[in-house]
Amino acid sequence: MNTKRTIPLILTVLAALVLAACAGEPTPTATPEQPTAEAATPAGETPTETPLDMPTAEPTVNSPFPTLEIVVYPTIVETPFPTNDPSISALPTEEIVPPPPGFDRIILIRRGGPTLDDGTTADLIITLERDGRISRGEAQGRVNGETIELITELIDRSQFFTVDANFLGPVPAEPPLPFLYDIVVTSGVYERRISAQEGFMSVPIQQLIGTVLDEGQRVGAP
């Protein structure tokens, strides 16, 4: 055998065997490690949260309309309307008693009028009782029955206790002043005062005041 040819052949076979061995057992490759948050953060720096770990906020919607608070009203409970109980008697109503006819006492006060020489006015007070007694100041006298009946009729005719009217007018600031009258009539438990002015009285009130005034001025006259 030729030695020069044999040596290269042997080297070729050995190289083929080495290549075959290398191809049958693959060399393991190292798996690269995933960097952690601690490893990726340089020393001395605070680790930051990844976007996946950060909390998400609700999107804000800007509305041009104001937010209205809903008011909850209390529930209304309907109650039945009370019915009249026939077993319960009605409350007694106060009976309105009309004033008795006539009068028990009349007081007539007159003020104002022309000014006297001493600067005063001819004021006077007349009191008339139902039994006919009459007084003007300290003077006293009596009135007959026919005059009492006439005055009683005038009180009823004028509706003294029920009339609703104003018998006063404007009063001038300087004299001469008009006559002003206050007449008070008492009948039973009823009593009423009416103020009147000369020229503003109704006819029945004027007749009533005039009659009492005439009878009072006769008291003490000669």
What pLDDT band is residue 11 in, cutting at 50, 70 and 90? confident
Q: Which amino acid is present at 56?
A: T
Give yes or no for residue 25 having a pLDDT over 60: no
Tokens of 161: 């206790």
Q: How far, in Å, CA of 114 to CA of 19, rounded?
A: 162
Q: How far, in Å, CA of 125 to CA of 152, rounded?
A: 20
| Residue, of 143 and 26, whose pLDDT is higher | 143
Average pLDDT over residues 193-199: 93
Q: How far, in Å, CA of 144 to CA of 133, rounded?
A: 9
pLDDT recorded at residue 77: 58
Give yes or no for residue 164 having a pLDDT over 70: yes
What pLDDT band is residue 148 in, cutting at 50, 70 and 90? very high
Boundaries of every domain in the chain:
105-218
pLDDT recorded at residue 37: 47
On whether the CB atoms of residues 194 and 106 are closer than 8 A, the answer is no
The percentage of the chain sitting over the pLDDT mark of 90, rounded to a whole number, equals 38
Q: How far, in Å, CA of 79 to CA of 27, rounded?
A: 96
pLDDT recorded at residue 153: 94
Average pLDDT over residues 114-143: 91
Give yes or no for residue 23 having a pLDDT over 80: no
| Residue, of 80 and 187, whose pLDDT is higher | 187
The percentage of the chain sitting over the pLDDT mark of 70, rounded to a whole number, equals 57
On whether the CB atoms of residues 121 and 114 are closer than 8 A, the answer is yes
Dump pLDDT digits (tens) for 62-97: 655 556 566 565 665 555 655 666 555 555 555 566
The pTM of the full predicted model, rounded to 2 decimals, is 0.55
Dump pLDDT digits (tens) for 200-219: 999 999 999 999 999 999 99
- The domain 105-218 is placed in CATH, from the list 2.30.29, 3.30.1560, 3.40.50, 2.40.128, at 3.30.1560
| Residue, of 72 and 101, whose pLDDT is higher | 101
Please give the distance of CA 30 from its chain centroid, rounded to a whole number.
Answer: 92
